[in-house]
């Protein structure tokens, strides 16, 4: 292990990306994510990498996808308004199956909103922002160290599943400095390589795991890539059978890995009467509130999704099965809470602490809400 050092959340993201093998960054300046680009601009050109500041966020993700097809692990980072612009190419990356990582450091919206204030308002944008039926993998770190860890994981999942993976955290985490000890080495993954010669290669023919092998442009495999619905040859098709097969495979490859992709952390949930569900920076406040409540003898637990999409619905249902109340805390006007309600399907009452004014939810607010549940020692 390297020695402990004080770093910022956004710096941890850049360090994680580099550790995971990222050698291409394209981005557009936007608060509160710009430190990621600034680190990459300093680091990549002198370390066998490429940095380019593009003309907007649409082009940033376009360049990232291009680099990915050229065989290089690539990423971009942004915040709300830029994330809106990226939706076009998030869909393209899903359809063309381009491994890439997109970081959204959430700020208060909608529109320009409050650029330097935190929010968790992009939960649904990360899931449904791009049009059409599509799968999504979105990871939600809760600390500076975890931003490093989950950025590495995002690259690995992107490579293994050939799709965009989103890392979603908020302005507070992005700008928080914490003392962390980062690993010297991390486990990295690489997209599956073709096992057949070019003449036999079908670019979109997947194995049992649903993931087609991906050679790089220039490796001797001459193939076509398109955002149009296509067949196993990677060529556009208007056949309904082929279209259905493609869309279902794009979903199935994620579903097949679902239990591995979905991660939650639980604290004191076993005997909890109230289970608090929170992610990211709000989970930090919730953890403090839970510890304080436990110190007072109140049986409260915390369920913290490290993966927000696919939503940990089975985990939420199982872990809250013995509780009398589920309390969701999030910095928006109700995005995760609806997923929790769907997951528990009426078996446990669900309440919510919602805040969307650009200020973080503090432990006291959660403690107050716990008192309101009438839970006693």
Contacts to another protein by CB under 8 A: 23-24, 26, 41, 45-46, 49-52, 54-56, 58-60, 62-72, 74, 88-89, 92, 96, 216-228, 233, 235-236
Pick between residue 221 and residue 279 the one whose CB is nearest to another protein: 221
Closer by beta carbon to another protein, 236 or else 349: 236
Compute the half-sphere exposure of residue 300: CA atoms within 13 Å on the CB side of its CA: 31
Alpha carbon distance 287, 302 (integer Å): 7
Residue pointed to by tokens 């907007």: 56
User: Which pair of structure tokens corresponds to residue 140?
Assistant: 């939600």
Q: Which is nearer to another protein, 55 or 241 (CB)?
A: 55
Cβ at position 59, least distance to another protein in Å: 4
- Rounded to 5 degrees, φ, ψ at 350 are -115, 130
Nearer to another protein, 58 or 356 (CB): 58
Beta carbon of residue 132, minimum distance to another protein (angstroms, whole number): 13
Nearest residue to 22 (alpha-carbon basis) of 10, 40, 8: 40
| Cβ–Cβ < 8 Å for 106, 119 | yes
Minimal distance, residue 74 CB to another protein, in Å:
7
Q: Please, what is the minimum distance in Å from the beta carbon of residue 24 to another protein?
A: 5
CB of 212 to another protein, least distance (A): 16
H-helix or E-strand spanning residue 31: none
| Residue 91 or 322 having the CB closest to another protein | 91
Alpha-carbon distances of 191 from 51, 68, 100, rounded to whole Å: 22, 10, 11
Tell me which residue of 337, 325, 341, 334 sits closest to 374, measured CA to CA: 325
CB of 17 to another protein, least distance (A): 15
Compare residues 92 and 148 and give the one whose CB is closer to another protein.
92
As a dihedral over the C-alpha atoms of residue 179, residue 77, residue 130, residue 246, rounded to 10 degrees, the angle is: -90
């Amino acid at each position: 292990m390297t020695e402990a050092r004080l770093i910022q959340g956004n710096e941890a993201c850049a360090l994680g990306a580099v550790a995971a093998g990222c050698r291409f960054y394209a981005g557009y300046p936007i608060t509160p994510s710009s430190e990621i680009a600034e680190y990459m601009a300093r680091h990549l050109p002198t370390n066998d990498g490429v940095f380019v500041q593009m003309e907007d966020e649409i082009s940033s993700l376009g360049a990232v996808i291009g680099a990915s097809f050229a065989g290089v692990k690539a990423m971009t980072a942004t915040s709300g308004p830029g994330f809106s612009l990226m939706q076009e190419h998030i869909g393209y990356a899903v359809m063309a199956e381009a491994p890439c990582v997109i970081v959204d450091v959430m700020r208060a919206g909608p529109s320009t909103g409050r650029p330097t204030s935190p929010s968790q308002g992009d939960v649904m944008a990360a899931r449904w922002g791009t049009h059409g039926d599509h799968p999504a993998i979105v990871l939600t770190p809760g600390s500076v160290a975890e931003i490093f860890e989950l950025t590495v994981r995002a690259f690995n999942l992107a490579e293994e599943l050939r799709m965009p993976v989103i890392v979603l955290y908020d302005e507070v985490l992005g700008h928080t400095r914490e003392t962390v000890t980062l690993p010297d080495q991390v486990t990295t993954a690489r997209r599956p390589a073709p096992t057949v010669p070019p003449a036999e290669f079908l670019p979109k023919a997947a194995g049992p795991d649903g993931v087609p092998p991906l050679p790089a442009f220039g490796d001797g495999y001459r193939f076509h890539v398109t955002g149009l619905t296509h067949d196993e040859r990677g060529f556009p098709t208007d056949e309904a059978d082929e279209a259905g097969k493609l869309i279902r495979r794009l979903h199935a490859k994620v579903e097949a890995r679902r239990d591995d992709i979905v991660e939650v952390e639980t604290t004191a949930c076993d005997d909890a009467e109230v289970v608090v569900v929170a992610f990211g920076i709000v989970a930090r406040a919730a953890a403090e509130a839970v510890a304080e409540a436990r110190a007072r003898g109140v049986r409260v637990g915390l369920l913290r999704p490290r993966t927000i999409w696919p939503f940990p619905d089975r985990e939420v249902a199982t872990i809250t099965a013995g509780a009398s109340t589920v309390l969701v805390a999030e910095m928006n006007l109700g995005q995760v809470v609806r997923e929790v309600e769907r997951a528990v399907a009426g078996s446990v009452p669900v309440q919510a602490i919602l805040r969307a004014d650009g200020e973080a939810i503090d432990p006291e607010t959660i403690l107050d809400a716990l008192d309101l549940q009438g839970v006693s020692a």
